[in-house]
Chain A
Amino acid sequence: MTYTGNVLRVNLGTGKAVKEPLNKEWARDYLGGKGLSIKYLYEELKPGIDPLSPENKLILMTGPTTGTIVPNSGKLAIAAKSPATGTILDCSIGGHFAPELKFAGYDAVIIEGKAKNPVYLFIEDDLVELRSARELWGKGAHETEHIIAETLGDVVTMAIGPAGENLLPMACISSELYRQAGRGGIGAVMGSKNLKAIAVWGSGGIEMPDIRKFSAAMNKIKREDTMTDDNMWAYSDGTPMIVDLCQSTGILPTRNFQDGTFAEHEKINSDAVKNTLKAKKACFSCPLACSNYVRKGQSEVEGPEYETLALCGSNCGISDLEAIIEFNRLCDDFCLDTISVGNIVGFAMELTEKGVHDFGIRFGDVENFLKMPGLIAGRKGVGADLAEGVRAIAEKYGGQEYAMQVKGLEIPGYDPRGSWSMGLAYGTADRGACHMRAWPAAVEAFGDIDPFTSEGKAELVIGMQDDNSVKFSAIFCDFWALSTERMAEILSLLLEREIDAAELTKIGERIYNLARLFNEREGFARKDDNLPERVFNEVLSTGFTAGKLLPKKDYEIMLGEYYRLRGWDENGIISEQKKKELNL
């Protein structure tokens, strides 16, 4: 079995750390990663706590694939109650932290309480220290990582920047400079605990039952299933490829989702990014190397990913790729979620142009665009208002109909009016508007399924949510389009017991329903599974989606069908029968 069997529990208030046994019963039912971290939070958090209080917990959770040569197994789940939405929140961060944590001897770290003064956590096998972060507090994540590397040597670090310190609802956690646990304010949870960084180094390994057989099996799978046409877009282009996919299907967020195509898309598409490419980069045990390390002019960054090109590019009317690269680098250093910040800046631009409130910035204004990350992260000038997110900005100034958020989390780069399944995905995602729970655009807007019908969408979204729940709990990266059968084959080897696809699908359903149960306990119901009015009332005007919107009655049909198939009542509450069936 490829668990270490150990969880490190750190209380920042008392300064004590204990190694405790992994709950094996929970690990069997929830695997690891997303599922197991949500299970621990569901059992250990009282309903109604303030996510920025010491009562919240931050959980770093690996999976049974972590640290092995399973392809695409390098990611880590980080979970807590979300400061942005009040829902359950699990994020996924790539790089090398997860395997290093496992080599140090831990499946998970649970961080509780709040330190009296800024600290960082250092884990080196059995040595666990809380070190003063007084000199680091106030610094960006990049400088923080450099200083820790100079102090501790060859460690893997994750850190927060000023955004997390200032408790922004869109603060993220950064690792290896350019990897993020991005959404929902996970960085603010760390900031609220006075925890500046976590550094880890491990001298151990993972004990494999038959390394020769396992290596041969993984190499075969890598050749036949990972490095195939289906997945090699990640190597050839990375996510910037999606700019052209969205442009040609009319779902590219443009000027705060006022339109679905951007006239200057060729300045920010994959070909444009390739002209700036210096190197490809990969996470631990990944042959796809989706990351692009780029340089243009004086700016360089690992990125920009599609979401940044869309939300901080076309959505802000910005076509200057060098400016987007610099904006990305600033957000990475300050630790700001680029999806949320791109939405915030686009919203501020529309409010200014419409005369609702003057935030001093209009679409396409590069000079003020580049000032935004600093102002927002520091809550300075217009940043004082903007740092609260689009829902709060709209409550204060107006424009609720085009504040593009669900449950308080800003919308990712796919306009639901051109992909009705994405509308349902956003409305029913556990952490607010999210494209990582289900990404049905891949087979609908970008495939054969009619994007402009409510038919069949509920089943499509549910299938993806459940499969992704397993995927992010076993831990496989999103970008490997592997089947549940393949996951079962690999997990059977790792866990040394026979698992089939049907059992995994059940586990996925259980995980997704547990996330929903957490939210139910916090008071969430159908009224919160809603979309911004713009999507229901305003048509898009150019390209493939000219004249299209998502009629509210069709959204309600999809949502009703979704609840029915999920075994939830008309208010989106899980039935007792379903809870019993899933052992919840």
Chain B
Amino acid sequence: MEITLILRGPLKKYADDRSIIAIPTGDRRIQLSAIVDQLGIPASSISFIQINGRKSDLEAFVEGGEEVVVNPRVAGG
């Protein structure tokens, strides 16, 4: 099983400039904070996480088949 991880905006630099990557989950549940740590993305660079189009957070677990979006911080309006 794998999840689709989408790194929005400048965060793709943490995946060699690929904004969409597949992350294998095997048959385990993985916490999103672990995935983000492994890629070296500082938590301070992230505004919020989406799982399948809805807002979630780094504490959430995924098990495979989900689309996870990592959003950068955005200033201004």
Contact surface of A with B, Cβ cutoff 8 Å:
229-237, 239, 241-242, 244-245, 247-250, 270, 412, 435-436, 439, 441-442, 446-448, 477-481, 543-544
Assess whether A241 is in contact with B54, with CB atoms less than 8 Å apart. Answer: no
Query: Across chains A and B, which 10 residue pairs bring their CB atoms closest together, nearest first?
Result: A481-B75, A478-B76, A232-B10, A229-B45, A233-B9, A439-B77, A435-B77, A479-B76, A236-B9, A248-B50
Report the nearest B residue to A242, measured CB to CB. Answer: B74
Grouping DSSP codes into helix (H, G, I), strand (E, B) and loop, the B interface class, with mixed when no group exceeds half, is mixed
**Contacts A229-B72, A248-B69, A442-B73 given: A241-B42 contact, CB under 8 Å?**
no
Report the nearest B residue to A436, measured CB to CB. Answer: B77
Contacting residue for A241 out of B53, B57, B74, CB 8 A: B74
B11 interface residue (CB < 8 Å to A): yes
**Contacts A237-B8, A244-B8, A543-B54 given: A439-B76 contact, CB under 8 Å?**
yes
A439 to chain B minimum Cβ distance, whole angstroms, is 4
**Known contacts A442-B76, A543-B54; can you find 15 more A-B pairs with CB under 8 A?**
A229-B72, A232-B9, A236-B10, A244-B8, A245-B71, A248-B53, A248-B54, A249-B48, A250-B55, A439-B77, A442-B77, A448-B57, A481-B73, A543-B53, A544-B55
Assess whether B48 is in contact with A446, with CB atoms less than 8 Å apart. Answer: yes
B47 interface residue (CB < 8 Å to A): yes
CA distance A412 to B76 in the complex (A): 13
Contact partners of A543 in chain B: CB under 8 A: 53-54
Assess whether B75 is in contact with A479, with CB atoms less than 8 Å apart. Answer: yes
Assess whether B55 is in contact with A233, with CB atoms less than 8 Å apart. Answer: no
A355 to chain B minimum Cβ distance, whole angstroms, is 34
**Contacts A248-B53, A248-B55, A544-B55 given: A229-B11 contact, CB under 8 Å?**
yes
A211 to chain B minimum Cβ distance, whole angstroms, is 29
CA distance A237 to B57 in the complex (A): 23
CA distance A242 to B69 in the complex (A): 13
**Contacts A241-B8, A244-B8 given: A447-B72 contact, CB under 8 Å?**
no
Chain B residues within 8 Å of chain A by Cβ, number: 22
CA distance A14 to B47 in the complex (A): 54
B60 to chain A minimum Cβ distance, whole angstroms, is 14
CA distance A239 to B74 in the complex (A): 9
Report the nearest B residue to A440, measured CB to CB. Answer: B77
Contact partners of A250 in chain B: CB under 8 A: 55
23 A–B contacts, CB within 8 A, in A order: A229-B45, A230-B75, A232-B72, A233-B8, A233-B9, A233-B74, A236-B9, A236-B10, A236-B12, A241-B72, A242-B74, A244-B69, A245-B74, A248-B53, A250-B55, A439-B77, A442-B73, A442-B76, A446-B47, A446-B74, A478-B76, A478-B77, A544-B55
Contact partners of B53 in chain A: CB under 8 A: 247-248, 543
Contact partners of A446 in chain B: CB under 8 A: 47-48, 71, 74
Contact surface of B with A, Cβ cutoff 8 Å:
8-12, 42, 45, 47-48, 50, 53-55, 57, 69, 71-77
Assess whether A233 is in contact with B72, with CB atoms less than 8 Å apart. Answer: yes
Tell me which of B9, B42, B50, B74 has the highest count of chain A C-beta atoms within 10 A of its own C-beta.
Answer: B74
CA distance A1 to B9 in the complex (A): 38
Assess whether B75 is in contact with A480, with CB atoms less than 8 Å apart. Answer: yes
Assess whether B75 is in contact with A478, with CB atoms less than 8 Å apart. Answer: yes
Report the nearest A residue to B8, measured CB to CB. Answer: A241
B67 to chain A minimum Cβ distance, whole angstroms, is 11
Assess whether A442 is in contact with B75, with CB atoms less than 8 Å apart. Answer: yes
CA distance A237 to B7 in the complex (A): 12
CA distance A73 to B28 in the complex (A): 50
Contact partners of B72 in chain A: CB under 8 A: 229-230, 232-233, 241
**Contacts A233-B9, A236-B9 given: A245-B75 contact, CB under 8 Å?**
no
Assess whether A447 is in contact with B47, with CB atoms less than 8 Å apart. Answer: yes
Report the nearest B residue to A447, measured CB to CB. Answer: B47
B58 to chain A minimum Cβ distance, whole angstroms, is 10
Report the nearest A residue to B51, measured CB to CB. Answer: A248
Contact partners of B12 in chain A: CB under 8 A: 236
Contact partners of B71 in chain A: CB under 8 A: 244-245, 446
CA distance A365 to B77 in the complex (A): 28
Assess whether B77 is in contact with A245, with CB atoms less than 8 Å apart. Answer: no
Report the nearest B residue to A265, measured CB to CB. Answer: B53
A117 to chain B minimum Cβ distance, whole angstroms, is 39
B51 to chain A minimum Cβ distance, whole angstroms, is 9
Contacting residue for B47 out of A436, A442, A477, A480, CB 8 A: A442
B47 to chain A minimum Cβ distance, whole angstroms, is 5
Contacting residue for A233 out of B50, B69, B73, CB 8 A: B73
CA distance A477 to B8 in the complex (A): 22
Contact partners of A480 in chain B: CB under 8 A: 75
Contact partners of A239 in chain B: CB under 8 A: 76
CA distance A507 to B50 in the complex (A): 39
CA distance A272 to B69 in the complex (A): 17
Contact partners of A247 in chain B: CB under 8 A: 53
Assess whether A241 is in contact with B77, with CB atoms less than 8 Å apart. Answer: no
CA distance A549 to B69 in the complex (A): 26
CA distance A446 to B75 in the complex (A): 11
B42 to chain A minimum Cβ distance, whole angstroms, is 7
CA distance A232 to B73 in the complex (A): 9
CA distance A412 to B75 in the complex (A): 16
Report the nearest B residue to A245, measured CB to CB. Answer: B71
